[in-house]
């Protein structure tokens, strides 16, 4: 499927410790958000969004709900020096979405799942785009000399 929508503005990255997220464990403290945010604004966001939208399973109604709830602005991207990768936290709808009456058109677990999965996929593509096309720095983490060599 193709999601034929214009890309929203890239998220502004907040100074949040990524270890506060349930889905992330990051060593180090230099997350390079300013640089990542600059890359997003220089084209990484739009490039990744276009790639994601070309194969997204989200439909326009799902996307409109995500925009109405301002979920895109809650993405977070950060440098994980230990793993030499861009990490991310994708926003999502909570399990108690029905009780909270978050949006008048949010009426099924299928929609909730489509939005949550779609935003997770978008986050992953943004990370890959940043790492492959924009980042030219090397990880500063150096493994100790006494680690076993499993490659031989």
d(CA 55, CA 53) in angstroms, rounded, equals: 5
pLDDT at 36 over 80: yes
Question: Among all chains, which residue has been given the structure tokens 């991207």?
Answer: 77
d(CA 43, CA 49) in angstroms, rounded, equals: 10
Give the global pTM.
Answer: 0.84
d(CA 7, CA 116) in angstroms, rounded, equals: 17
Half-sphere exposure of 78 toward its Cβ, with a 13 Å CA cutoff?
25
Q: Residues 41-72: pLDDT tens digits? A: 999 999 999 999 999 999 999 999 999 999 99
Q: Residues 104-148: pLDDT tens digits? A: 999 999 999 999 999 999 999 999 999 999 998 765 555 555 555
Kindly state the tokens that stand for 22.
């349930």
The beta-strand segments (E) located in the chain are 76-80, 85-89
d(CA 130, CA 124) in angstroms, rounded, equals: 10
Q: How confident is the model at residue 17 (pLDDT cuts 50, 70, 90)?
A: low
Q: How many CB atoms are closer than 10 A to CB 38? A: 14
């Amino acid at each position: 499927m193709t999601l034929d929508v214009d890309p929203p503005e890239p998220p502004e990255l907040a100074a949040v410790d990524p270890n506060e997220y349930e889905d992330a464990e990051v060593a180090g403290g230099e997350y390079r958000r300013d640089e990542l945010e600059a890359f997003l604004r220089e084209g990484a966001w739009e490039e990744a969004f276009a790639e994601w939208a070309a194969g997204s399973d989200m439909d326009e109604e799902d996307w409109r709900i995500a925009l109405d709830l301002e979920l895109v602005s809650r993405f977070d991207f950060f440098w994980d020096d230990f793993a030499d990768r861009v990490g991310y936290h994708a926003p999502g709808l909570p399990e108690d979405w029905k009780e909270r009456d978050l949006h008048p058109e949010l009426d099924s677990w299928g929609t909730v799942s489509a939005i949550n999965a779609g935003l997770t996929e978008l986050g992953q593509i943004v990370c890959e785009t940043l790492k492959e096309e924009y980042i030219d720095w090397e990880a500063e983490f150096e493994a100790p000399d006494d680690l076993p060599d499993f490659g031989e």
